[in-house]
Chains A and B, each alone.
Chain A
């Protein structure tokens, strides 16, 4: 009883002990906030990564794709035991490509921009069933049957672009070098006439919209089509649209057989915005059959994206120990490799976990500092209480009892500090965007630069397990650091303690 009584009395009378409480509180709050934000980023990143890649991928390194046709492969998967777990399959062709388009500068100069991109040929409807493809489309967001068709506005712009040169003085138009495809080449192959030099002062001919020409639409990563910069005058983040739906783009890649380059001109139909900078700046989707035709793949593909039923994808043991071996057994290892989305993004996911682990380790040092403050303050308190310890022992308090006083005191301070820290940490995490906004307004310095991340808000995710572990760790550390002074108090000889000056 005396341990509890003295703990509570010391808590109320030793104001120095509040330093311990504040130290533990700060440590716990910092860890909760950082974990919440890191987990938010991590969860959002994993969510995005998983949104782009289906649960399981069957892929090949062969440039010409699987030897077997995708329909036959899908049928084999469906007929196998693994087929019961499969909800949908989307055949795709994925290759690296050069992507070129023209923009007009402020000086009305037309300049070509070339980027290397990841060109993905998909059947949009099937692809939407294996991931979040439709969710990330800008114009056709969450469309049940997304497609590569041009919208009315895009088609009108395409038609205006075809007449682009009518608006330009002939002398300023750069001649296309011999042998290089020009905007409109693809249209020429489809029978639409594109004049080399527009006749001066002749109004553009009106193309009837009722009979649209066939064009190959592509869905372009949002960051390929847009660029951001900070206005030096206002400090605002501005976005410039480099490519609009209806603009034509030139795409070149390697053919399926040998290294012979193949190319084509397509028209922007939509944007793809996953809020993952890396993907938004490199992904270009085009119709599967067009890419197969362009590369000469004869209907073959180099990847099958497999969507699993229900929550099976969350069962890592089932996926990695049962499903993947079953799927792999269907195809020769030299021909196809079966990987889960986690394995596909293994290094990135591992890097996130390592980063988080290291950050936690470093931040736990704050709790370590709190532990040292507990040690220092408790050592002072024990020294100050030498006589009282002697009195307690003369009244029959045991060594364990005296030790218990200081351990309980350490525990009490740690529990209060952790509880306050948890409250403060959760409150900050919950309102982190408001706090960031306030700090940005007060300091004029943007803390969370939205031009770097394509997130509008700082993502947070409070994991109860992490909060529990932080609390247990903080309380454990504080109690651990109070062991030494408590042990010293317990070992104190009563006569020496009573005679202490």
Chain B
């Protein structure tokens, strides 16, 4: 279980401190597909970054299976990002110099030394190839990001996030830069991964229609969870959709 307890986070902008999270509590069960919605500036992305150890809270704690992960340093934190969490970003963030295959393989490149990579390269390549085929990019393996469409780049990013078999996928508005159909494809892909592979998915989105297909929707407001759970929120959500 991924749990955030009483999280506080503020950013300093010039002389002012902008309070982004103000005592946020959240628990994500294993295998859950959770979406976080809320107005811009409500702290959705910040929460995602804190959950994924990309940033540290000012106060509060984040734990994974009861073990605190918000104060990890160095190798432990890097290993957690590399093996336990998979990140998907709104703007895909594929490395432009690398092919789709190399982009997908990047977590494995990071995990291994040159010699270690040389020994394990076949199995990693096979897995990357399988993932690319699974996301429908089997024919685009050697293509550079600039040669892919937005949807294809995001699918490659999903494949990259899945390479290390992470327990938790953290998706920051994965459909935000895509048209409705392509965005729907990506969400269906995430749903499928969640259902078939048991991957926990935490997705930040503005799109209520997309949020509606997840197991649980959390609405954030002013740095706190304003509404949480299918029971209270989903009926109104479905109405909105």
> Could you list which residues of chain A lie within 8 angstroms of chain B, going by C-beta atoms?
1-2, 4-6, 9-10, 12-13, 387-388, 390-398, 401, 493-495, 498
Contact = CB atoms under 8 A, between A and B. Distances in A.
B14 to A, nearest CB: 16
29 contacts: A1-B112, A1-B113, A1-B114, A1-B116, A2-B106, A2-B109, A2-B110, A4-B114, A5-B109, A6-B95, A9-B97, A13-B97, A388-B93, A388-B95, A391-B89, A392-B95, A393-B54, A393-B81, A394-B81, A395-B82, A395-B87, A395-B110, A396-B83, A396-B107, A398-B74, A493-B55, A494-B49, A498-B89, A498-B93
A10 B97 CA distance: 7
A385 to B, nearest CB: 9
A367 to B, nearest CB: 29
Looking at chain A's contact residues, the main secondary structure is helix
Contacts of B93: 387-388, 390-391, 498
A396 B82 contact: yes
Given A1-B117, A494-B54, 5 more contacts: A390-B93, A395-B81, A395-B82, A396-B110, A498-B89
Interface string B88-100: 0100010111100
Contacts, number: 70
**Chain B CB within 10 Å — which of A391, A395, A396 has the most?**
A395
A401 B74 CA distance: 11
Interface string B122-152: 0000000000000000000000000000000
A396 B95 contact: no
Contacts of A388: 93, 95-96
Contacts of B160: 395
Given A494-B54, A495-B54, A498-B93, A396 B98 contact: no
Interface string B27-71: 000000000000000000000010010110000000000000000
A394 B111 CA distance: 13
A394 B54 contact: yes
A392 B82 CA distance: 10
B50 to A, nearest CB: 9
B98 A9 contact: yes
Contact of B79 (A5, A6, A396, A401): A396
Residue among A10, A13, A396 with the most chain B CB within 10 A? A396
B97 A401 contact: no
B185 interface: no
Contact of B78 (A1, A5, A390, A397): A397
Interface residues of B, number: 31
A5 B111 CA distance: 13
Query: Secondary structure at chain B's binding surface: helix, strand, loop or mixed?
Result: helix
A6 B116 CA distance: 17
B52 A397 contact: no
Nearest to B46: A495
A275 to B, nearest CB: 56
Q: Which 4 A-B pairs give the minimum distances between C-beta atoms?
A: A396-B82, A2-B109, A1-B117, A9-B97
B173 interface: no
From A1, A10, A393, name the one whose CB has the most chain B CB atoms within 10 angstroms: A1
Contacts of B113: 1
Contacts of B87: 394-395
Contacts of A390: 93
A392 B102 CA distance: 13
B107 A395 contact: yes
A494 B117 CA distance: 25
A393 to B, nearest CB: 7
Contacts of B49: 494-495
A396 B81 contact: yes
B75 interface: yes
Contacts of A10: 97
Nearest to B81: A396
Nearest to A397: B110
Contacts of B74: 398
A451 B75 CA distance: 70
Contact of B109 (A1, A13, A393, A493): A1
A394 B53 CA distance: 9
Contacts of B97: 6, 9-10, 12-13
A261 B165 CA distance: 105
Contacts of B109: 1-2, 5
A398 B81 CA distance: 10
A498 B95 CA distance: 12
Given A1-B116, A395-B87, A401 B110 contact: yes
A4 B114 CA distance: 8
A398 B75 contact: yes
A472 to B, nearest CB: 24
A493 B102 CA distance: 24
Contacts of A397: 78, 110
A5 B106 CA distance: 10
Nearest to A385: B95
Contacts of B98: 5, 9
A4 to B, nearest CB: 6
A16 to B, nearest CB: 14
A183 B79 CA distance: 100
A9 B109 CA distance: 14
Contacts of A401: 110
B69 to A, nearest CB: 14
A390 to B, nearest CB: 7
A400 to B, nearest CB: 9
Contacts of B89: 391, 498
A2 B114 CA distance: 8
Nearest to B157: A391
Given A1-B114, A1-B116, A6-B97, A395 B106 contact: yes
B213 to A, nearest CB: 25
Nearest to A14: B97
Contacts of A393: 54, 81
A180 B95 CA distance: 96
Contacts of B117: 1
